[in-house]
Chains A and B, each alone.
Chain A
Amino acid sequence: KQEVTQIPAALSVPEGENLVLNCSFTDSAIYNLQWFRQDPGKGLTSLLLIQSSQREQTSGRLNASLDKSSGRSTLYIAASQPGDSATYLCAVRPASGTYKYIFGTGTRLKVLA
């Protein structure tokens, strides 16, 4: 059974700092992995999607890496800003022909001005 874990659960950093959010999954047989951002009381916004055959994806100040063999993904945020404050969730879609995503519990990020 696939399980997704995110560490740390919460993180508080000063503005301008580079930071790394971690995501671990127990079964390496995945189709893809997505990183999402959720603002309080709102839905999720997809940040990056990494296909199982890829090693990383980049969008602006965000870079996500994927190491399937070790069951890990990291989201790197460069030069953090107060507007980056949100909960970040990673989600894994298993490779077994399913169309569901299994979500981690998220990392709640606060960037201090």
Chain B
Amino acid sequence: KAGVTQTPRYLIKTRGQQVTLSCSPISGHRSVSWYQQTPGQGLQFLFEYFSETQRNKGNFPGRFSGRQFSNSRSEMNVSTLELGDSALYLCASSYSVPVGLAGGNIAKNIQYFGAGTRLSVL
């Protein structure tokens, strides 16, 4: 089955511009999470969506926003880009069915990551 698809793979923007990144999860997965990866800070959680609802948000400024559509595809938007926003942006999908609930097991909590979008802000 197809994996997590992120588009575009590479982006070059200038300061002050805005950008939209897209993530298509594995078919059947309803949870999509976004992470920012930089050499200095490592992987940091941005937000998580499940069935079009944001369930968690990380400690990022309001310039970072996201949404999820009814087909579970997700987008994240960064407005007024800064140099420090240059990073690899990763999304991950999972079934997210708690262990202990009907149909829940460990495998359904495994996170599957896309290849990422590398954003460079000049």
- B110 and A51 form a contact (CB under 8 A): no
Instruction: Pick from B44, B50, B90: contact of A43, CB below 8 A.
Output: B90
With contacts A44-B92, A49-B109 known, is A103 near B115, CB below 8 A?
no
Give the bracket for the number of chain A residues in contact with chain B: 20 to 34
Counting CB contacts under 8 A, is A12 at the interface?
no
Counting CB contacts under 8 A, is B7 at the interface?
no
- B115 and A43 form a contact (CB under 8 A): yes
Counting CB contacts under 8 A, is B58 at the interface?
yes
With contacts A43-B114, A43-B116 known, is A99 near B48, CB below 8 A?
yes
How far is the CB of A97 from the nearest CB of chain B, in Å? 9
The 10 closest A-B pairs by CB, nearest first: A43-B113, A103-B43, A100-B45, A44-B113, A99-B48, A43-B115, A105-B42, A46-B110, A99-B56, A100-B56
Counting CB contacts under 8 A, is A32 at the interface?
yes
- B31 and A49 form a contact (CB under 8 A): no
Give the bracket for the number of chain B residues in contact with chain A: 20 to 34
Give A99 to B55 CA distance when docked, in angstroms: 7
Contacting residues, chain B, for A103 (C-beta < 8 A) = 35, 42-44
Contacting residues, chain A, for B118 (C-beta < 8 A) = 41
Give A34 to B118 CA distance when docked, in angstroms: 24
Give A41 to B6 CA distance when docked, in angstroms: 14
How far is the CB of B21 from the nearest CB of chain A, in Å? 13
Give A101 to B96 CA distance when docked, in angstroms: 13
Counting CB contacts under 8 A, is B102 at the interface?
no
Within 8 A of A (CB), among B56-106: 56, 58, 90, 92, 96, 99, 106
- B90 and A44 form a contact (CB under 8 A): yes
Contacting residues, chain B, for A46 (C-beta < 8 A) = 110-113
**Given A44-B111, A100-B33, 10 other A-B residues pairs in contact with their CB atoms under 8 A:** A36-B113, A42-B115, A43-B6, A46-B112, A51-B106, A91-B111, A98-B56, A99-B31, A99-B55, A101-B111
